[in-house]
């Protein structure tokens, strides 16, 4: 499973990259705006691409097809690793079809059903982003969607990668990995949780105590 960081925080991205764990980044204008009031989206994307030698999803703001294409063409010129992030709408799917034919990779976001993911895959999306946490929030099982997508994509040999988004806890990651999801995009806080286990802490404490008593 590939790990992407869902962030526009340069310090977070640099830290995780330094650990050798970072395969890519997903971000959007909202995340960029939250970082020190920074509104220069393209500038931040360029900085991220210098740190990460993998896919960097940059989301368009427009909701209409023609404007999506214009934004996508500008964003795709920032760096060869930029992936255009588009919403799961009719205009988004139309833009996905157009851009994929131009060899510009697309990440279709806001996926909440297998039917939506199927449409995105047929349109040529490089990634689909099912939002497991938001499904859990409305008393639906987000991990069940990952299971459905793994089965459907395998049935038809789609090259589209399943990028699990809206991850709220380590369980989401492990369950998605067991189902064969290609990518997990994690908030910094959740990725850090993967390191932690109380028995590890106890073991280190005991080791250090034994050594000090030597």
The domain total for the chain is 1
pTM of this structure: 0.93
Q: Which residues are catalytic?
A: 85
Residue 53 sits in a domain whose CATH number is: 3.20.20.70
Q: Which residues of the chain have pLDDT under 70?
A: 36-39, 214
Yes or no: say if 81 and 66 are a contact pair by the CB < 8 Å rule: no
Q: What is the pLDDT of residues 125-168, one digit of tens each?
A: 999 999 999 999 999 999 999 999 999 999 999 999 999 999 99
Structural domain harbouring 10 = 2-212
């Amino acid at each position: 499973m590939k790990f992407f960081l869902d962030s526009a925080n340069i310090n977070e991205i640099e830290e995780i990259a330094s650990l050798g764990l970072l395969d890519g980044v997903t971000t959007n204008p909202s995340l960029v705006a939250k970082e020190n009031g920074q509104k220069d989206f393209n500038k931040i994307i360029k900085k991220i691409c210098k740190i990460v030698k993998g896919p960097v999803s940059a989301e368009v703001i427009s909701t209409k097809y023609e404007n999506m294409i214009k934004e996508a063409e500008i964003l795709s010129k920032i760096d060869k690793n930029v992936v255009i992030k588009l919403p799961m709408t009719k205009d988004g799917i139309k833009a996905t079809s157009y851009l994929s034919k131009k060899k510009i990779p697309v990440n279709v976001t806001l996926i909440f059903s297998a039917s939506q993911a199927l449409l995105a895959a047929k349109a040529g999306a490089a990634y689909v982003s099912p939002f497991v946490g938001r499904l859990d929030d409305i008393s639906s099982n987000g991990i069940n969607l990952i299971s459905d997508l793994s089965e459907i994509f395998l049935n038809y040999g789609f090259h589209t990668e399943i990028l699990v988004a809206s991850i709220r806890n380590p369980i989401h990651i492990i369950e998605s990995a067991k189902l064969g999801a290609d990518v997990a995009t994690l908030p910094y806080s959740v990725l850090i949780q993967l390191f932690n286990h109380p028995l590890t802490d106890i073991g280190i404490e005991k080791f250090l105590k034994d050594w000090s008593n030597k």
